[in-house]
Amino acid sequence: MALEAPTVSDVMSGREANGSALVVDPSCAEVDPELATDQPAENLGAIRTHALRIRLLAFDFIAAGTSWIGFGFILAPGDNYLEKTVRGCFALGSTLIAMHVGRMYRSRMCAKWGQEFERIVLAAVVGSLAFAASEWPARAPRARDAVLCGLICTTTMVAFRGHYRRWLAAQRARGYYLRNVILVGGDDESLELWNMLQSEPELGYRVAAVIGASNEPRPWDSLLRSTRVADLPALACETGASGVVIALKALSNDELKSVIAICSGCGLHMQMWPGSLGVGSVRLREVPISGEPLYYIEPNRIHRWQRLIKRAIDIGGSSLGILVSSPVLAITAIAIKLERGGSILHRQRRVGLNGVPFTVYKLRTMAVGAEGAVDELQALNQRTDGPLYKNDRDPRITKLGRLLRPLSIDELPQLWNVFLGSMSLVGPRPALPHEVLRFDDELQRRHTMRPGITGLWQSKARENPSFSAYRRYDLYYIANWSIRLDLSILAVTVPAVFAQAARALRGIHPKSESRWRTKARQSTVEDLQLSPISGMTLPGD
């Protein structure tokens, strides 16, 4: 099939579609499988991958060192310093070796938080055994000290790695540490995959080239592209891509086999996307048949006892939250009244369970009567691809409100909504009635559960201005809800709120506009070739 402009053939001959010259390394035309990892484009990504791994290793070293050496000194005050230092260093080294053996510095091993947590626990167990064994044969090992230090090690490493994840996601959202990949596919499913990767740069991918045919204009038309899978090596060399993302539905069986063979020969990493199924990975079970991969999808049955447990967690959590936050609410209420007068609470109608409207309560963070000025501020809306409104620099927000919002103190009255049953601690964001009118039938399914104070979207992509991310996370939550998912969201929300509070106290605000500037940069071949951040991933493979 003929290549589309700008074609790889044009690139290899030093021409663009308009006839202008391109500076190209002719050696990119052939990629020796045995030398694939020595290509210049790979070296660039490897350097940045190495830097990220060193940073992650430093985080683990500090967390484990604090646990085994620092707390080891505290728990054994009677021992001499040399013994405590040797014992702590032995446990520290054993823990880090276990992390390395468990491939905890590879992105594919850290992609699932549950898997990462299990391996951290295993590494801490290895450290505990080393800590206890280092006391023998001088004395009987003290199991209590080893267990306590192991628990502290697990906690600190999980906390440090959580901080690392949030830091990296923020950096990627601003356009740094992105990994160049080639999108294989040109159909509507490929377009959906493109939109996901483009709207969520914090995932860490930058589409640098596309292989696939389409009869309609596509947003990737300005990128290097081809209709032949045989051009994969040349495209990878030109763009510095370290892997491919394959939209399975866009390829025939023979084309898919060709892509796999070429990528294997060139040393390119492969990821295959089956399409938007709305099924979480926890529900997929690999059941090979005759040596071929086959996946069983676990049914997501929600039993009455699960709903009762969720409600019990809501009542218990909201009651405790109301009790603990009462002094903060009282002080904040006085501050709101002293600042500009007016009402302390802001009442707003939202759409809840089964589409029934309810009144949500928040502390007032805007000037009196500011809600009616939304239409006048649409030009400042950062969420341009959907019905939601967001503006980090909203002029209606009061000075006190700019402190309360990052700390999420303004949402504390919603604990009463949870206690009374109109909301839950975890669930989809409660939408405004005029927003719901613009939701399609599929997104209306979000109203089959109570809205939440926090949720999957709030914990993962709250600062992302894309409506597609909002939609995707809400639908994922509805299709894959479980008590375990709720608890994991709550566990992620707490450190996320503290991190957001820290940014607010330092005067650092999320720069959502940079995401749009990043995506604008991604749309030109020149920036892809000259960008200093191409080929980066965390941690690389």
185 Cβ partners below 8 Å, 6+ apart?
193, 210, 211, 212, 246, 247, 249, 250, 251
Following DSSP, what letter does each residue of 467-519 receive, concatenated?
A: HHHHHHHHHHHHHT--HHHHHHHHHHHHHHHHHHHHHHHTT----THHHHHHH
Q: Which amino acid is at 224?
A: L
Which helix (H) or strand (E) is 236 found in, with range? helix 232-239
527/51: higher pLDDT: 51
Residue 392 buriedness (CB in 10 A; 0-12 / 13-18 / 19+): middle
- Give the strand pairing for 284-286 and 295-297: antiparallel
- The pLDDT, as a whole number, for residue 373 is 64
Query: What's the whole-number mean pLDDT along residues 492-512?
Result: 65
Tell me the C-alpha distance between 129 and 146, whole Å: 7
Q: Which amino acid is at 377?
A: L
The structural domains of the chain, ordered by start, are 43-173 (no CATH), 177-276+511-541 (3.40.50.720), 312-510 (no CATH)
- The pLDDT, as a whole number, for residue 252 is 86
Mean pLDDT (the chain, rounded): 78
- The pLDDT, as a whole number, for residue 76 is 66
> Does pTM surpass 0.75?
no
- The pLDDT, as a whole number, for residue 505 is 64
pLDDT band at 311 (very low <50, low <70, confident <90, very high): very high
Q: 140-154, 216-230, 409-423 — which is least confidently predicted?
A: 140-154
**pLDDT (tens digit per residue) in 295-309:** 888 888 888 999 999
- The pLDDT, as a whole number, for residue 85 is 84
**pLDDT (tens digit per residue) in 116-160:** 888 999 999 999 999 888 877 666 667 788 888 899 999 999 989
pLDDT over threshold 90, residue 416: yes
Rounded (10°) CA dihedral 442, 446, 449, 454 = 160
Tell me the C-alpha distance between 5 and 1, whole Å: 13
Question: Is the Cα dihedral 513, 406, 508, 528 positive or negative?
Answer: negative
Query: What's the whole-number mean pLDDT along residues 4-22?
Result: 38
Percent of the chain with pLDDT over 70: 77
Q: Quick check: bond before 137 cis, omega within 30?
A: yes
pLDDT band at 507 (very low <50, low <70, confident <90, very high): low
A 10 A CB-CB count for 26 gives 9
527/376: higher pLDDT: 376
Which helix (H) or strand (E) is 458 found in, with range? helix 456-461
Contact 71, 155 (CB under 8 A): no
Rounded (10°) CA dihedral 373, 375, 379, 384 = 120
How distant is the alpha carbon of residue 138 from its chain centre?
Answer: 48
421/225: higher pLDDT: 421
pLDDT over threshold 50, residue 20: no
Q: How far apart are the first and last CA of the chain?
A: 33
**pLDDT (tens digit per residue) in 342-383:** 889 989 999 999 999 999 999 998 887 766 666 666 667 766
Encode 207-219: b = buried (16+ Cβ within 10 Å), e = exposed. bbbbbbebeeebe
- The pLDDT, as a whole number, for residue 506 is 65
Residue 489 buriedness (CB in 10 A; 0-12 / 13-18 / 19+): buried
- The pLDDT, as a whole number, for residue 393 is 74
**pLDDT (tens digit per residue) in 275-301:** 777 777 778 888 888 888 888 888 888
3-state secondary structure string across 343-405: CCEEEEEEECHHHCEEEEEEECCECCCHHHHCHHHHHHCCCCCCCCCCCCCCCCECHHHHHHH
Percent of the chain with pLDDT over 90: 31
Q: 46-50, 312-316, 440-444 — which is least confidently predicted?
A: 46-50
135 Cβ partners below 8 Å, 6+ apart?
87, 141, 142
- Give the strand pairing for 243-247 and 179-184: parallel
537/461: higher pLDDT: 461
- The pLDDT, as a whole number, for residue 120 is 93
pLDDT over threshold 70, residue 517: no
Contact 295, 286 (CB under 8 A): yes
| Residue 338, token pair as written in the block | 């002293």
404 Cβ partners below 8 Å, 6+ apart?
332, 363, 365, 410
- The pLDDT, as a whole number, for residue 468 is 82
Contact 26, 19 (CB under 8 A): no
pLDDT band at 519 (very low <50, low <70, confident <90, very high): very low
pLDDT over threshold 60, residue 200: yes
Residues 404, 409, 410, CA angle at the centre, nearest 5°?
Answer: 75
Phi, psi at 40, each rounded to 5°: -55, -40
Question: Is the Cα dihedral 424, 203, 198, 391 positive or negative?
Answer: positive
- The pLDDT, as a whole number, for residue 174 is 86
pLDDT over threshold 70, residue 334: yes
- The pLDDT, as a whole number, for residue 137 is 64
pLDDT over threshold 50, residue 31: no
pLDDT over threshold 50, residue 512: no
- The pLDDT, as a whole number, for residue 24 is 30
pLDDT over threshold 90, residue 316: yes
Query: What's the whole-number mean pLDDT along residues 234-245?
Result: 91
**pLDDT (tens digit per residue) in 60-112:** 999 999 988 888 777 766 567 777 888 889 999 999 999 999 888 887 767 77
Query: What's the whole-number mean pLDDT along residues 439-459?
Result: 90
Residue 378 buriedness (CB in 10 A; 0-12 / 13-18 / 19+): exposed
pLDDT band at 216 (very low <50, low <70, confident <90, very high): confident
Query: What's the whole-number mean pLDDT along residues 225-235?
Result: 89
